[in-house]
Amino acid sequence: MQQGKDPKKRFLKISIIPALIIFLLLAAGALGADGRESAKYIFLFIGDGMGEAQVRTAELYRIGSGAGEPALSTFPVRGSISTHSADAAVTDSAAAGTAMASGYKTNNGVLGMDPSRTKNLTSIAETARDRGMKVGIVTSSFLNDATPAAFYAHRPSRIDYYEIGEQLIDSGFDYFAGGGHLPEQRAQGKSQGSLRTRRKKGDTGCSAPGPGYLPRPARGKKIIAAVCARGHLPYEMDRTAGSPSLAELTKLGIGLLDNPDGFFLIVEGGKMDWACHLNDAAAMVHDMVAFDAAAREALSFAQRHPKETLLVVLADHETGGMSIEEGITAAQLFPVLSAQKESSESFTVKVDRFRKGQQRTFEGMLPLITDSFGLHSLSESELVELRTAFAQSMLPKEQRKRDREYLRRYGPYEPLSVTATRILNRKAGITWSSFGHSGADVPVFAHGAGSAIFAGEYDNTDIARKLMSLLHFP
Ligand SMILES: [Zn+2]
């Protein structure tokens, strides 16, 4: 007897297939009232400057440390986005943020407006707010920096910090955590800037979350600006016990935003970009690990709401033209990078102090280099590199001849600090080709409700469109 002709079995087959499809759709993500896929809790993690090499370095570092793979390496969906802006092959964070937030390209330096700087572009975060979802932004950079600002501000220039700060207050978003006070604002005599006004409400500076850190961190309260007096969070590797981590600020945000109408939470690892501009792989990797820890907070929320939560982790652009030597292993990379004790920025403070001191000899400086970077065995040519950089670093800044060769070697940074990190990085198999952004495509990782649409290669403007298509209608 032919099985296929048994009417009962045929019925079973016919009815099982649609049921299976519905089950798979349900398993992949929640279906909205109109039957389309949607996500009620959306996390958008933006690693500023996080290219493929940065991700790979963080993977090797974490594995080398014995902590295992980063969370994002376990995400089931992988994609890649092109990043060029409307007017340049290499984007800046304002144009990249605007593209991902609004779905439209703009010129470098422009925030939430079209290239003519006349039309405002609505961000996905504003749409989420208008639909009744709660919205939050966490960053390790400052809150009126380009990436976070692309989700709430509309300004012809990313350096209109004061006005951007005012737009932050007017955004109606529910949670802000990060740095917020800029020297530029003080320089312009605008020290009563919006963010500072918020700070007066009880923030005592950059300390651990909890009473005294946030102005009454209570659910249901509108703008909660958790700003650090320093203007940004410290590099993870320089962070002291009193400062909050990105994961703590993320966890706090989840607790405050969680509500039956859903939320949209943006978390930016902002200082990976800063570290990559400085060609400081160790500072970058520590911030990547902190960024990953923040993503784990979102993952643990997703485990409680698996069918309604979407996590997207991506970068706005790559910074530094970073590359890793072929075949480098976790066992080779980890011991070298973990020997660095402080960020290049923190070491530069020591260089400044040394320049102002009496004994400005290279022999006097060498123990400090060894101590901060663990550079115990240096070749003759490495010593020459360090000596040359040291000679430049000991000159008062205005006396340095910043010719083409100087800029190629050190960019706008402290020669000795850049040279020390570059030597250390080479020993770990990492090289840099610039002090700026590159035009490379950057990775996307997705997990949870509706995540399948983030697979493949597409443009950064598609991020806003894909998120929009999944945005939950309460
Ligand atoms: Zn940058």
pLDDT digits (tens, 9 = 90+) for 12-46: 444 554 454 444 444 444 555 556 688 999 999 99
- pLDDT above 80: residue 192: no
Helices (H), 207-311: 246-257, 271-277, 281-304
Helices (H), 280-414: 281-304, 330-337, 344-356, 362-373, 380-393, 404-410
Q: Residue 394: count other Cβ atoms within 10 Å of its Cβ.
A: 18
Q: So what's the pLDDT on residue 243?
A: 80
How many A from CA of 93 to the centre of ligand 1? 7
What whole-number distance in Å separates Cα of residue 317 and Cα of residue 97?
10
How many A from CA of 48 to the centre of ligand 1? 7
Q: So what's the pLDDT on residue 35?
A: 61
How many A from CA of 395 to the centre of ligand 1? 27
SS3 447: strand
Helix (H) or strand (E) holding 163: helix 161-170
Q: So what's the pLDDT on residue 33?
A: 52
How many A from CA of 440 to the centre of ligand 1? 14
- pLDDT above 60: residue 4: no
Section 214-230 average pLDDT? 54
Query: What structural domains does the chain harbor?
Result: 37-322+436-470 (3.40.720.10), 339-430 (no CATH)
Contact 204, 212 (CB under 8 A): yes
How many A from CA of 411 to the centre of ligand 1? 14
How many A from CA of 95 to the centre of ligand 1? 12
How many A from CA of 92 to the centre of ligand 1? 7
Q: So what's the pLDDT on residue 34?
A: 57
Q: So what's the pLDDT on residue 214?
A: 44
Largest CA distance in the chain: 100
What whole-number distance in Å separates Cα of residue 117 and Cα of residue 420?
42
- The owner of tokens 């937030």 is 101
DSSP 173-198: -SEEEEE---HHHHHTT-TT-HHHHH
How many A from CA of 315 to the centre of ligand 1? 11
348's CB contacts (< 8 A; 6+ apart) are: 413, 414, 417
CA dist 215 to 176, 181, 203, 210, 258, Å?
A: 11, 16, 6, 9, 19
SS3 277: helix
What whole-number distance in Å separates Cα of residue 197 and Cα of residue 216?
15
Identify any residues that bridge with 134 across adjacent strands, giving them in sequence order: 263
Better pLDDT: 122 or 203: 122
Helices (H), 428-456: none
Section 424-437 average pLDDT? 97
What whole-number distance in Å separates Cα of residue 124 and Cα of residue 85?
18
How many A from CA of 118 to the centre of ligand 1? 25
Q: So what's the pLDDT on residue 185?
A: 40
Contact 443, 456 (CB under 8 A): no
- pTM for the whole structure: 0.86
Classify residue 125 as exposed, middle or buried by CB count within 10 Å of its CB (0-12, 13-18, 19+).
Answer: buried
How many A from CA of 147 to the centre of ligand 1? 10
How many A from CA of 150 to the centre of ligand 1? 14
What whole-number distance in Å separates Cα of residue 387 and Cα of residue 389?
5
Q: CA-based angle 437:407:423, to the nearest 5? A: 80
**Mean of the per-residue pLDDT values for the chain?**
86
How many A from CA of 437 to the centre of ligand 1? 6
Contact 61, 337 (CB under 8 A): yes
Q: So what's the pLDDT on residue 191?
A: 33
Q: Residue 358: count other Cβ atoms within 10 Å of its Cβ.
A: 5
Give tens-digit pLDDT for 49-97. Answer: 999 999 999 999 999 999 999 999 999 999 999 999 999 999 999 999 9
What whole-number distance in Å separates Cα of residue 235 and Cα of residue 115?
33
**Tokens (6 digits) for 283:** 């500072």
Better pLDDT: 170 or 54: 54
Q: So what's the pLDDT on residue 9?
A: 47
How many A from CA of 12 to the centre of ligand 1? 58
What whole-number distance in Å separates Cα of residue 291 and Cα of residue 141?
12
How many A from CA of 134 to the centre of ligand 1? 29
**Tokens (6 digits) for 180:** 């917020």
- pLDDT above 50: residue 211: no
Contact 442, 317 (CB under 8 A): yes
CA dist 138 to 145, 177, 248, 272, Å?
A: 12, 5, 10, 15
How many A from CA of 141 to the centre of ligand 1? 11
How many A from CA of 290 to the centre of ligand 1? 18
Q: So what's the pLDDT on residue 366?
A: 96
End-to-end CA distance of the chain: 53
Better pLDDT: 245 or 179: 245
Compute the CA torsion angle 353, 359, 363, 367 (nearest 10 deg): -40
How many A from CA of 144 to the centre of ligand 1? 14
Q: So what's the pLDDT on residue 230?
A: 58
How many A from CA of 317 to the centre of ligand 1? 8
